[in-house]
Amino acid sequence: MKSHNLIRIAAATAATVVIVLFAGTWRTARPVQAQNNWANEDSLVRIGFQIAPVPLNLRGKDKELVGLGSYLVNAVGDCNGCHTGGGPPNFNYAAGGNPYFGQPAKVDPTTYLEGGSDFGPAVPPIPGVYPPAAYGDYVGPDIIARNLTPDKTGLPEGGHTLADFKKIMKTGIDFDKLHPTCTSPAPVPTPTNCIPPPVDGALLQVMPWPTFHNMTDHHLEAIYEYLSAIPCLESSPDPSNVLHNDCGNPKTGKSTTPPDARRKKKGGSNGL
């Protein structure tokens, strides 16, 4: 009996030791997990490089940021879902690469982030609700996604600085002032291209800045660095078109546009 008791006591003690040891490992597991988060960012960078659908110009760029930015743009933010220049039937996908047709997905590099998707008016007409009666059936211009590719200066989305870019993503400010709020409905809604209230025309419409607003500075910097590494797409050849981007003269070799992207010119149309 005595020896049985001893065995039980020994077993219980051993179990307690195991539990204490286990609890110890569990407690020390936390800092290890924190380290894993850094390792995870490395793996996001790797995935980012794997899924970038266009050749990247890494000269002078922070590669970690470019990779992370690609992950955020191509796996999380779906920027090209809206900012593609492609229209139906394949939209942002290449012919034969439309996943909604059961085909293996392939993003169309020739329209990648060049802008042009037409989302219609900021608020469609709703009888008795919008627009205010004085405006009749005038609801303002269609909202069109902009060209995010870098221009010949290498700065993304038509030459915006990092500070501007962060401000856009955090506040939705439209530096181009494309569609101000109407100040008067009659005799014609003014100023030109205005949107009737209560829409605040100084702010980007459709663009999910109220969500992107929550991103960290680090993540916004990564997106900016990635957007400066993608090829320039001219979009519209007409310099007065807001989608137009000056890629530099291809003959001087300054353009970062890959040859297959130059072949397809869309003449300002979004292809819809």
Q: Which residues contact ligand HEC by CB under 6 A? A: 73, 77-79, 81-83, 119, 143, 145-146, 148, 157-158, 165, 168, 174-176, 178, 204-208, 212, 223
The minimum distance between CB 79 and ligand HEC, in angstroms, equals: 3
Give the separation between CA 186 and CA 206, rounded to whole angstroms.
27
What is the nearest approach in angstroms of ligand HEC to the Cβ of residue 117? 7
CB of 141 to ligand HEC, least distance (A): 9
Q: How far is the CB of 196 from ligand HEC (least distance, A)?
A: 15
Q: In the chain, what's the furthest Cα-to-Cα distance?
A: 106
The string of DSSP letters for the chain reads -HHHHHHHHHHHHHHHHHHHHHHHHHHHHHHHHHHHHHHHHHHHHHHHHHH--S----TTS-HHHHHHHHHIIIIIS-HHHHH----TTTTTBPTT--GGGTSPP-B-GGGTT----EEEESS--BTTTBS-GGGTT---PEEEPPP-S--TTS-HHHH--HHHHHHHHHH-B-TT--SPBPSB-SSS-BSTT-B-TTS-TTB-SSS-HHHHTTS-HHHHHHHHHHHTTSPP----S-TTSTT------GGGT-----HHHHH---TT----
Instruction: Return the number of the residue (19 or 150) whose C-beta is nearest ligand HEC.
Output: 150
Residue closer to ligand HEC, measured from CB, 47 or 178: 178
Chain centre distance of CA 177: 21
Of 176 and 260, CB closest to ligand HEC:
176
Compare residues 238 and 260 and give the one whose CB is closer to ligand HEC.
238
Residue number with CB closer to ligand HEC (149 or 257): 149
- Residue closer to ligand HEC, measured from CB, 106 or 167: 167
In whole angstroms, how close is the CB of 34 to ligand HEC at the nearest point?
27
Listed in sequence order, the residues at least 6 apart from 251 whose beta carbon sits closer than 8 Å to its beta carbon are: none
| Nearer to ligand HEC among residue 109 and residue 157 (C-beta) | 157
CA angle 174–141–268, rounded 5-degree value: 85
| Least distance in angstroms from the C-beta of 158 to ligand HEC | 5
Nearer to ligand HEC, 12 or 272 (CB): 272
Least distance in Å: CB of 135 to ligand HEC? 18
Shortest Å, Cβ 16 to ligand HEC: 53
